[in-house]
Amino acid sequence: MAILVDKNTKVIVQGITGRLGSRQTSLMLQYGTKIVGGTSPGKGGTTITLEGQDLPVYDLVDEAMEEHEVDASVLYVPAPFLKEAAFEAIEAGLKFFVIITDWVPFHDAMEIKTLAMQRGARYLGPNCPGILIPKQTKLGMIAQANPGDIGIVSRSGTLTDEISLLLNEAGLGCSAVVGIGGDPIIGTRMKDILELYEKDNETKTILIIAEIGGTKEEEAAKYIQEHMTKPVIAYIVGGLAPHEKRMGHAGAIIMGGRGTVQSKQKALKQAGVKIAKVPWEIPSLIKKYGNSRVRI
């Protein structure tokens, strides 16, 4: 089974007529994602033609859900309007969505998370590349990965694609690739994805792609030590970052000595996680310590 989504997941795209939304919708359709339509306020009742498909456009999520079976949404909505769009998805009853948008205001992110928790909705992001189930579906911007039995959870969109390619070249593949987002306030934390992978029969080895800032990796280490039976490999980026200076993602900042590469490495090592020093060490560590099968 796949985690969170699969080949049968029916998707709408919020912000489907925008430049990025329409381009990424085309790429998702090319991959095989079952997109049934999208939203763009003020353009309801029109259609947008992408990859030879005429997709209906609605003003609101609940209007789309009145006409289609919808399981999830992907949000390509500018940051100033993101909170309203996320609230719309939650209040319409969606239980899973992906927020690609970055530069989301901190308090907006807090309000989105609060409402999602109250309504029992799960989401990835903000500021994330989404989720890909190889050869089945993708919601977001992850380029590609070959099918296999490695479960990736990542805080970095760029490294997600780079390391997926390294695994492909090494004859390794993934059960799922999940980008949780690089902001301080995100919907689904690293340990939440680890829990899903631990229960997933198709995932044999887990790969954490981590970065400086916050305590998500330390939380993950505690969960691994207490609950996980599957081998875990990790790579942590940001070893040369100066203290109290944001590097890339809003969440990648070291404050008061917390959130350093060293503190994360220590916690993960104590939990039995094998740490790669550089990205190209990851495939060899997986082959040596993981339970994954090399494809022939």
Query: Which of 94, 96, 81, 74 has the alpha carbon at shortest distance from 3?
Result: 96
Task: Write down the CATH superfamily of domain 10-124.
Answer: NAD(P)-binding Rossmann-like Domain (3.40.50.720)
Identify the pLDDT of residue 40. Answer: 98
- Kindly report the pTM of this predicted structure: 0.92
Read off the pLDDT of residues 186-214 as tens digits, 9 standing for 90 and up: 999 999 999 999 999 999 999 999 988 77
Q: Cα–Cα distance between 224 and 207 in angstroms, integer?
A: 12
Say yes or no to pLDDT of 255 above 80: no
Identify the pLDDT of residue 212. Answer: 80
Please, what is the angle between helix 261-270 and helix 216-227, to 10°?
A: 10
Identify the pLDDT of residue 239. Answer: 54
Q: Cα–Cα distance between 134 and 272 in angstroms, integer?
A: 28
Read off the pLDDT of residues 76-95 as tens digits, 9 standing for 90 and up: 999 999 999 999 999 999 99
CATH number of 142-289: 3.40.50.261
Identify the pLDDT of residue 276. Answer: 96
Residue of 238 and 197 predicted with greater confidence: 197
Tell me if domain 10-124 and domain 142-289 are identical in fold.
yes
Residue of 76 and 237 predicted with greater confidence: 76
Identify the pLDDT of residue 258. Answer: 55
Residues tagged active-site: 249
Say yes or no to pLDDT of 170 above 70: yes
At residue 41, the 3 state secondary structure works out as: coil
Mean residue pLDDT of the chain comes to 92
Residue ranges of the domains in the chain? 10-124, 142-289
pLDDT band at 251 (very low <50, low <70, confident <90, very high): very low
Q: What is the DSSP string of 79-129?
A: HHHHHHHHHHHHHTT-SEEEE---S--HHHHHHHHHHHHHHT-EEE-SS--
Identify the pLDDT of residue 1. Answer: 62
